Each structure stands twice: as structure tokens, then as C-alpha cells.
Structure 1
């Protein structure tokens, strides 16, 4: 989800906190991003609203820890973490496994040595271990 802020050149009205961030491969926008950890059914557990130019790694680790603590208080746990390729980085895998969560995150095409047998090819085609592919598509 992207929340945008528009500057009015003549009136000088702007959201002072909004920043320019990348929303697609070649598109940038002034605004905010909402980072969310949600259940498989789409129920949000935790979220953060950050400026659009903030790297996703910064709020993601904190959100995951917060979601684990919240569910732990309810006597529940996260067993499987399904995310897209932008969350494929070593520290995220390390934290997930340390928390007892199985990460199902495909590697980007340019990564040579993958942490799990799951990869996204150009055109958003996922290949690798059939069980991981099934879990990824289920999410």
C-alpha cells in the first residue's frame, strides 16, 4: 500500500514529512509507505508508517519481532514467513530462523548462491523446491 502526498507548487502546501521513494522499477513518488506484518488471511498484526525513501530493512526486523511478541502473549506463534524477493537478505533469514520461523522467500534472479531452493525468474516465475513453491503461492 502506498500513500501519496502531492505538493502544490503555487500554494506551497506540502506534507513536510513526506519523502520521494521508489514505488516501481522506474517510478518515484512523494509520500509514505505502510509496512505491515499480516496473517495468511490478511489480518494485520503490526504495522509502521514510514517515509517513502526509508529502506525496507529498517522497519521489517522490528515489525517481525513485534509480531512474534504479540502472538506469544496470545499463546500463538509464527511457523511460516512468506514474503516477496525484496525481503531476501541474510539478516532477515537469520532472524527468522532464530525466532523459529521458516522463511519462504524467493531469491532475486541475480543472486547466484541461494539460501533456500526458491528463486524468482524474470517475469515473476517462481522455480525451485515444489513444496516451497506451493507454500509461496499459498501466501
Structure 2
């Protein structure tokens, strides 16, 4: 977000750190979190297989979003929405063996909140940038 004035104070924007260093930091952080979450799943979850699947989906969709998958499609909001919903699923399966109706509502709520934040609020904030993946601009706003 090089043209976002609200982010000018961030170290990456100021040039205090290199892009490759920032990407490396994010991916190392995700790998450390992944290792710790695997331990949690195997030690505490009543259904570690599903918890691990959700964790893998969190990692895959989060990595896709961070590497720019959100910038190439009108459906660019899906990777981050699925990432957060998968993390919600991981949290659910740390304490539950199966997905109950309340669990489905929880995952739908998580998906919908991120959908609103990215697909509407985020695109509304970026109206002046005319980014090609901005759904609001594509709709004529």
C-alpha cells in the first residue's frame, strides 16, 4: 500500500526495512505459529485431524493473500476470508470434536466480518487508488 497515507509511518513504507526482510519476517512468524499450533492440536484437541486441516488451510490461504492473490481477481477477498474462517475452525476444533450448528454460525460470522472489512470497508478506503481488484470501482462507484 505505497499510496496509502494512513500507512506512511510503517517501517516498510518509510524504507526502514527491505521488502524481502519484511516478507521473511512474516513467513518465519507464520512458521513458528504453525509449529506451536500443531503442538496445541496434538496435545489438546479432541479431533486433531480436523484441527490440523483447518491449520493447513489457514496457512495456505494466508500465504496466498500475503503473496498478492488478493490483487489479481474480483474475488480477491476470498483468500483472507477463508484464512480467518479456517483459523476460527482451528480454534473450534481445539475444544470440540465435531462442528455443531453453533460452530457453523461461528464460522459464517467470522467469514462475514472479514468479508465486510476487506471487500467493503477496505475497498471504500481505497476508492481513490483505482486498484484493478476494487469491486466497488468495478460496480461503478
Category of TM-score, reference length = shorter chain:
under 0.3
- Bigger strand fraction: 1
Higher RCO (C-alpha under 8 Å, 6+ residues apart): 2
- Bigger helix fraction: 2
With normalisation by structure 2, the TM-score equals 0.27
With normalisation by structure 1, the TM-score equals 0.27
